[in-house]
């Protein structure tokens, strides 16, 4: 059984390499996440200096995540470029609709398309995998509109395949948890502003400082019926169930720090963070 799985993964890995070679030179949307890191690493191994990564310096990307993504790319040895994106200036994005991610990806792909045209890249790629449901991912629509390819998906690599292949290559992201942008912590319909993003980022830095690895700090706007007495927002803290045992000893200290950065009410979700929330 194990040998069969390894053979299947090897076939998909070969198919991925063939796809990449057919689209060289290739410009790759890189976020530092599990999928895009694997895509970037294999593109570098396969294409050498014909593969370049682009990472968006977005207001919704935590500074620590940007620094870590750059470090990982340097560890891999691949060239990446940082491009500032301005989706926050787009009122359609800032209004935080259900398809917010479409406007973010469209902004990134617009910037990448400009680079590709000027510098002669044959194609643009991003890290969608075979498990990602395109109908639930507004970014997939933006990708199709810009003719952005998804080599992992085309090669049939599932999320489990991506992690297994990442482990095989010794990538530091192999077992990293999903880490969507900071805007995902803000309820749809609540405007996305730099101030709100900064507060969420500070809140997650506080929770991380207490040793938690997998969690979310959900922004609760002042008018959401959460018992606010001022115009300050609240926060819902979701910790992975496997880590919640550590809460009892530090809960009060953590709440004190979170209120110190401007959250009025702190709610600890008793069910914890279970992913895809």
Query: Are 197 and 161 contained in the same domain?
Result: no
Task: Please report which helix (H) or strand (E) contains residue 239, including its range.
Answer: strand 234-239
Tell me: do 73 and 161 sit in the same domain. Answer: yes
Residue with tokens 């830095």: 205
Mean pLDDT in residue range 144-161: 96
Task: Output the pLDDT for position 134.
Answer: 58
Q: How far apart are the first and last CA of the chain?
A: 33
In a domain, 82, yes or no: yes
Q: Is residue 124 part of a domain?
A: yes
Predicted confidence at residue 208, as pLDDT, reads: 96
| Domain-located, residue 274 | no
**Would the pLDDT of 5 be above 70?**
no
Number of folded domains that form the chain = 2
Distance CA 141, CA 233 (A): 33
Q: pTM for the complete prediction?
A: 0.91
Q: Tell me, yes or no, whether 49 and 115 share the same domain.
A: yes
The whole domain housing 220 covers 193-268
Pair of tokens at residue 64: 């620590």
Element (H, E) at 25: none
182-218 pLDDT, tens per residue? 999 999 999 999 999 999 999 999 999 999 999 999 9
pLDDT averaged over the chain? 93
**CATH number of the domain enclosing 68:** 3.40.50.620
80 close to 112: Cβ distance less than 8 angstroms: no
């Amino acid at each position: 059984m194990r040998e069969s799985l390894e053979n299947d993964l090897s076939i998909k890995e070969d198919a991925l390499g063939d796809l990449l070679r057919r689209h060289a030179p290739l410009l790759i949307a890189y976020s530092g996440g599990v999928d895009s890191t694997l895509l970037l690493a294999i593109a570098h191994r396969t294409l050498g200096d014909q593969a370049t990564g682009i990472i968006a310096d977005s207001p919704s990307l935590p500074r620590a995540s940007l620094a870590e993504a750059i470090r990982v790319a340097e560890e891999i040895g691949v060239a990446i470029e940082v491009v500032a994106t301005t989706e926050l200036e787009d009122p359609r994005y800032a209004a935080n609709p259900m398809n917010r991610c479409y406007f973010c990806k469209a902004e990134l792909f617009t910037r990448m398309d400009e680079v590709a045209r000027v510098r002669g890249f044959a194609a643009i790629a991003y890290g969608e995998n075979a498990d990602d449901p395109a109908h639930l991912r507004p970014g997939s629509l933006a990708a199709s509109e810009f003719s952005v390819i998804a080599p992992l998906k085309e090669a049939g690599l599932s999320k489990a395949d991506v992690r297994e292949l990442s482990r095989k290559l010794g990538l530091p992201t192999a077992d990293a948890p999903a880490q969507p942008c900071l805007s995902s912590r803000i309820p749809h319909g609540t405007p996305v502003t730099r101030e709100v993003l900064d507060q969420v980022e500070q809140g997650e830095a506080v929770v991380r400082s207490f040793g938690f690895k997998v969690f979310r700090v959900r922004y609760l706007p002042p008018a959401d019926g959460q018992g606010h007495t001022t115009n300050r927002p609240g926060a819902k803290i979701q910790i992975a169930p496997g880590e919640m045992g550590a809460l009892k000893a530090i809960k009060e200290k953590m709440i004190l720090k979170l209120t110190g950065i401007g959250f009025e009410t702190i709610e600890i979700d008793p069910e914890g963070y279970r992913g895809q929330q």
